[in-house]
Structure 1
């Protein structure tokens, strides 16, 4: 108000709609309901009429008298007044009292649902197409001849946002959206570890594809997840560091995988595990996954590094997960090739990569494809098993099972 004259109306709901990081720089004028949209009542307005007017505007009403502000009135104010009025009625008013109670109960229930929807953040994330970033110049390679990559290579991502319940409902009616639980997203720290590992594996796989001998080193296998229903449940824990299996040291997840697959499913191994700073012995049986023996864990190599005749460093990226492996492997293999693949246009890719160059499945390929299309991708290379899900997002979508197949595709030999 300005000298008693109404300028606008501000509410907690409107202030709450402003992102917390923006509130310090915003003013009341930016969040208030302007005067021309404020419901104005007089002291002698009937309560039922007032209730209808306030419900229609979804904001408290201003009461004025003689052109001056006399007070505010909300739905709850009117509801309390109606309740008091109905309570003063005799037996003849009981039926009307019951109907008004139902009305008031409905109003209160609706208000509670709206408030809950505005303030409660359910344990879910809304997934949407994320940015597609050119990583062709993300690495610096020294010690061997290199050349600039011949085409842009787009790393594709999925954006994960946690909203209030009300926003979640709205988001689910928008195109290219999916919803997952917070457990599905996993720890940010572990996601970062997997991203870092994916780039090291990409460098090793790309070097091998170009005939350069490399080996991987590490400090053991860190458990970042347990597969539901596997023998590892209740035996191993996220955060465990496996350093040996049956007395044989393991430095990388690939050494652990080879040891596990050397024996049939159901074999019980003795693992040396570092847990909470202490080394303990853990007995763990294997199960079967995709026809091979598995421990039932999500592993990542601790302090992974590549021993190669060249040195490679990467630009830091605020990205998580292992799905960047294929995009980086393509860019590095291009840089390490004197001739380079004869690709053209803008190439987007997604897929995990391992030391042998095998391309593994990832999630959200359709969302990643729509993000790549926004950045002008003409070709989208995805894991072969996820080709169907990615079709229609980018003009040309190809599925591959290995890095060598992807490189042949870019060279026109596939």
Structure 2
């Protein structure tokens, strides 16, 4: 074999070896794919997803399914380049930078605690929204769960503090408190009126800029509600704020005569405020695929996700815009009876 041929052969092996090594090298991306669906008026592991005690309930039919996104990758288990490439050519999945899912330089325990609080807040907000829709009275108070070490609130706001107001504005829910803080510029002071150990006092906390430039004080909060009866939500390993709308609809369906689905398989997504406003979510394309695969024919879509959803909606899945829980209830009533307006997602 000539020297030139040997050189080309060795170069070819080197390129091949580098290609193989590169293909299996970890990359800082996360693959998002359609996750499992759960019928909120059905069962998980032979247990009702929503169980109500202390109040009359009514039979249901069809499905009101929450949809999820599964992810592969992350700081503790990065995917390789080959997996990312497969994701980029698969229209049913998305490949996104790792930092869009996992906040950099965060203590994993703090993140886990915040995720747990977020899940609890979402389910409580769903209960509150459903009872508000049905005009059933209840009470609520925003409480401090913890503070982030080294942040301004650390040592100033204490676990168990009940936040009554922020800068004189009533703390109607967790988001109101958060928005009041974000309305400040980093370096401003925020005044919290709290109840601590039965005593009311004002606590002044300076603000700082967060990792993404937002204003924060470093406090983890939770809305604690006092409901007139028990509403338990059981979803196993599934959770997160994007299921709020479907939890609320499931509660409303169980607490009202008749079946709001009309026997249809309805799926949907959206965060929920205690007052019933539906908020945008991520992974809408993957969630619609999961909905279609579960047999759903109607998909309740937050208004702010409509434009994106229309670009990727699977054939046979009807998009219904849901601005509020009340709008969603009315839309399902119109679908069932054939009377009334069914708001659709529109371009632009």
* Pair in the same fold by TM > 0.5: yes
Q: Which residue of 2 aligns with 1:112?
A: 18
Contact 2:62 2:261 (8 Å CA) reproduced: no
Asked whether 1:269 is paired with 2:269, we answer no
Asked whether 1:177 is paired with 2:93, we answer yes
Contact 2:153 2:219 (8 Å CA) reproduced: no
For residue 241 of structure 2, give the secondary structure of its aligned residue in structure 1. Answer: coil
Q: Deviation per CA, 1:37-65, whole angstroms, max 9, x where unpaired? A: xxxxxxxxxxx7xxxxxxxxxxxxxxxxx
Q: Which residue of 2 aligns with 1:211?
A: 135
Contact 2:67 2:287 (8 Å CA) reproduced: yes
Q: Of 230, 243, 255, which aligns to 1:324? A: 243
What is the correspondence of 1:48-67 to structure 2 with a 5 Å cutoff? none
Contact 1:194 1:320 (8 Å CA) reproduced: no
Q: Distance in 1 between matches of 2:100 and 2:130?
A: 30
Q: Of 200, 203, 206, which aligns to 1:283? A: 206
Q: Which residue of 2 aligns with 1:253?
A: 174
Q: Distance in 1 between matches of 2:229 and 2:143?
A: 21
Structure 1 gaps, min length 5:
1-47, 49-95, 225-233, 273-279, 288-293
TM-score norm. by structure 1 comes to: 0.61
Asked whether 1:199 is paired with 2:199, we answer no
Larger radius of gyration: 1
Q: Which residue of 1 aligns with 2:198?
A: none
For residue 180 of structure 1, give the secondary structure of its aligned residue in structure 2. Answer: strand
CA distance change for structure 1 residues 117 and 219 in 2, over 3 Å: closer, same or farther?
same
Deviation at 1:267, TM superposition (A): 9.1
Q: Distance in 2 between matches of 1:254 and 1:167?
A: 37
Asked whether 1:362 is paired with 2:276, we answer no
Q: Deviation per CA, 1:356-402, whole angstroms, max 9, x where unpaired? A: 10000001112101111011101100101212322332521111110
Asked whether 1:190 is paired with 2:104, we answer no
Q: Which residue of 2 aligns with 1:151?
A: 62
For residue 26 of structure 2, give the secondary structure of its aligned residue in structure 1. Answer: coil
For residue 145 of structure 1, give the secondary structure of its aligned residue in structure 2. Answer: coil
Deviation at 1:220, TM superposition (A): 1.8
Deviation at 1:180, TM superposition (A): 1.6
Q: Distance in 2 between matches of 1:271 and 1:402?
A: 31
Q: Distance in 2 between matches of 1:221 and 1:259?
A: 18
Asked whether 1:301 is paired with 2:207, we answer no
Q: Distance in 2 between matches of 1:323 and 1:298?
A: 23
CA distance change for structure 1 residues 358 and 248 in 2, over 3 Å: closer, same or farther?
closer
Deviation at 1:286, TM superposition (A): 9.4
Q: Distance in 2 between matches of 1:155 and 1:400?
A: 14
Q: Which residue of 1 aligns with 2:268?
A: 349
Q: Whose relative contact order is higher, 1 or 2, with alpha carbons under 8 Å and at least 6 apart?
A: 2
Deviation at 1:317, TM superposition (A): 2.2
Q: Deviation per CA, 1:92-111, whole angstroms, max 9, x where unpaired? A: xxxx5366335313412321
Q: Distance in 2 between matches of 1:377 and 1:236?
A: 47
Deviation at 1:271, TM superposition (A): 5.9
Q: Which residue of 1 aligns with 2:326?
A: 404
Contact 1:125 1:182 (8 Å CA) reproduced: yes
Deviation at 1:300, TM superposition (A): 5.9
- Residue-pair matches, total: 294
CA distance change for structure 1 residues 353 and 177 in 2, over 3 Å: closer, same or farther?
same
What is the correspondence of 1:67-146 to structure 2 with a 5 Å cutoff? 96-97=2-3, 100-118=6-24, 120-136=25-41, 137-146=48-57
TM-score norm. by structure 2 comes to: 0.72
Q: Distance in 1 between matches of 2:295 and 2:145?
A: 39
For residue 270 of structure 1, give the secondary structure of its aligned residue in structure 2. Answer: strand
Asked whether 1:395 is paired with 2:301, we answer no
Q: Which residue of 1 aligns with 2:105?
A: none
Deviation at 1:346, TM superposition (A): 0.5
Higher strand share: 2
CA distance change for structure 1 residues 300 and 362 in 2, over 3 Å: closer, same or farther?
farther
Deviation at 1:307, TM superposition (A): 0.8
Q: Distance in 1 between matches of 2:169 and 2:309?
A: 42
Q: Which residue of 1 aligns with 2:304?
A: 385
Q: Distance in 2 between matches of 1:201 and 1:146?
A: 20
